[in-house]
Structure 1
Amino acid sequence: MSDDTTTRVPAKTDDSVVKNPYSWPANEHQPPPRTTDLSERAAKRAARQVATMFLLSGVFVALFFVAFTYMSPTDTVEIPYLGEIGGQHVALGLTFGMAVFLIGAGTVHWAKKLMSNVEVVQPRHDFKSTPEDTQGALEVFEEGVEASTWKKHPVIRRTLLFAMALVPLPFIISLRDLWLTPPGVPNPDAMLQYTIWTKGQRLVRDITGEPVRAEEIPVGGLVNCNPEDLEAVEETEGNLNARAKAAIIVIRMEPDEIQSLQIPDGAWNGIIAFSKICTHVGCPISLYQQRTHELLCPCHQSTFDLSDSANVVFGPAGRHMPQLPITVDDEGYLIAQSDFLEPVGPSFWTITGEVGP
C-alpha cells in the first residue's frame, strides 16, 4: 500500500461506484460501456450464464462421486500418445478438474460482465530511491568489492566463475538415470512389469536362504521367502531392487477356507504365495491374522483378505496383492510356476493388469 498521505477524494459520480469519501478517484479515461451496462436483458443473460457454470460445477462434483464409487480401479482407457491408463483416474481427474475450472470461469465471467467496470486511481509515490540512498548503496557495494579483493586477485575471480559454471553439470548428467535400464529392458516402464521370479525357481526362506518344503508350513503359518538365486542377482546388480520386487509371503490355510484365487491352479494344498510389497505405497508387510486370513499393512492400515484373492477390504490400497503361482517339485520343495502375472508394488498410472507369464 502507498504511504502517500494525500487525502483521497470522492470518485466521480457514477451509479455503479459507492459514494464514499475514502473511495479512490475515478480515472479520467474510462473504458467504453459494456453491453451488460446498457441492456438489462444482456445483464440477466450474463447472470444466467454465470449461474449455469456454478451449477455445472456441482454436477461435475456429483459425477466425481459416481466415478469414485462405481468405477473399478482396474478399468482402463486408451489415451492417444499416452497409451492405456486407469479409467477411474481419468474420470476423477476430468470431473474434479471441470468442477474447479467452472467455478473459476464463472467468477471471471461475472467480473468481466457484471461487476463494476469503473477504473480508479490509487494515489501513491514513485517507487524510486532518492539520489542519496542510491549513492549510499553504491558506496557500500564498492566497499564490499574492495574488502573481498575481487579485483585485486583476478585468478580467484576466474577460477570461481569456472567452478560455478561446472557445478550444475552433475545435476544435468544425473537426469540420464531417469531412462537407465538393464540390458534387454526397452524402457523404465518395463522394469516395473516383471521380477526375477522364473519357472522352476525354489522358494527359500528370507535371511537363511534355506529351501522351503511344503510339509514344513503348518496351517495358519506364514513364511517370508525370496527366489533361490537372489544372492547371485544381488552380486551382479549391486543393489536391492531385485530383492524388493521379488519378496513374497507364503501362507497356508485349509483348502475349504479359500474363497477364491487370482490364479486357481497357482496354489498347492492350501499353500498360497503373495507379493510382500503393499500395493498402496510399497511398504513390506507380513502382519497376518490367521483366524480372519487378513494381511495388515502397519503403515497405512490397508487390509487384504488372503482367502479371497487378497482383495482389499480396508484402507487406501487400490488393488489386491499379486499372487505368485507356485507348486512343488519332485523333492517336495515349493517352486514358482512363473513370474507374477501382474506388476507388484504400488500402482502406477500405466498399469494395465496382466502382463503374462
Structure 2
Amino acid sequence: MSSQDKSEVPEEHLPEVPASAHVPAESDPFADPGLPAHEPRRTDIDEKAANRAERQVAFLFVISMLATIGFIWSYVGIDKDRIIDIFFFGKIGAQNAALGGTLGIALFCIGAGAIHWARTLMTDEEIVQERHEFTSDPETREYAIREFTQGASDSVIGRRPLIRRTMIGAMALVPLSGVVLLRDLGPLPGTKLRHTEWKPGTELINEATGLPIKPDDIVKGSLTMALPEGLVEKYGPAGQKEELSHGWLEKAGMSAVLLVRLEPKDVKSKKELAWGYEGIVAYSKICTHVGCPIGLYEQQTHHLLCPCHQSTFDLADDGKVVFGPAARSLPQLKIHVNEAGNLAASQDFAEPVGASFWERG
C-alpha cells in the first residue's frame, strides 16, 4: 500500500501498535537529562563559613592593593641599573623583576578574589535559558533589567560591605600601574629642551680636531662644525672617539653649530650681522622639522639643506625656511672674539633648538 493510500484510511481502521513497540524515554540516548537536584554550599547554610569566605576575598583584594603600591614604589625606588641573581633565571634587572612580580600579584589577586567570591557567596542556582532570537524588543530589555537587578542582589554586594570596599579599592588602584608606566615614555625634560651647553664666553671648538676656532679658520664657502669647549674637554672630539657615548651624543645633538663666512653685503638681516663676527655666523646644526643633523651647504645661494626631508634654510636671511616641511627658522648663536682671539658664544640660543614640541609656546 502506498503512503497516499495509507493517508486515506480512517484512523480507527489502522492496526493498533503494541505497547512493547514503544521505546521508554529513559533508554533514549538523546533525551534531555535535565538538571540535577540543587545542593546548597556550606556558605549558604553556615553564616560563619560565609563570613570567613568574605574575609578571604577581602584579603585577596587587600593583597592586590599592596602589590599595586609595591609596583609604584619599585618604579621610583629601585635603581634601573641594579642587577640581581634569581635562581635559574640568572642575572636580571632588579627593577624589571619587581615590576613584573608586583603587577602579576596585583592582577592575580583581583581575579582570584572575584572567582572565590563567585564560587562561595554569589548565588549558584542553576538557570536554564532557551535560545531566542536576537531582538531588542521591549520585553527583552525589561527582562535584561530584571536579570541585572537580580544579579546585583544575588551577588550580596549590598550585604557584604567589606568585599565591596576592598574590591573598589583594588580596582581603583590597579590602573595606577598603567598610569605610572606612562612615565617611562621618557625622562621629564624640565628645561633641557630650552637650554644647551652654550654660555656667555664659551669658546667654539672644532668638532673634528678639538681645537679652538679662530676667525681666520673659517674660509668662504666652507662649513665648519663646532661644539662648546666644555663638551669637547669632557667627552673628546668626535674624530678621536672610537665609540660615542650616550652623553656625548645627547649634549652634542643639542649644542652642535655650523659656522659659515658670508659677505656682509649678502646678509639681508641686520640682526644676523650683529650676532655674527665679520660675516661669520653660527647656526644650530639641528633641523627644526624632526631634528635631523644638517650638513649640506650651497655656497652660491647660501642655502642649507636638510638631507632627511629636504627642508632648506637661507643662512643669509636669519636662517629662514625657503623650502620643505620645516616650520621654523634655524636658531642663530650669537658669537664674538674673546681676548685669546678665539670665537666664543655671547649667550645661549635665544630659542629652543631642534624639532618643535607642544610645550614650546
Please give the TM-score of this superposition, normalised by the length of structure 1: 0.47
Higher helix share: 2
Greater gyration radius: 2
Please give the TM-score of this superposition, normalised by the length of structure 2: 0.47
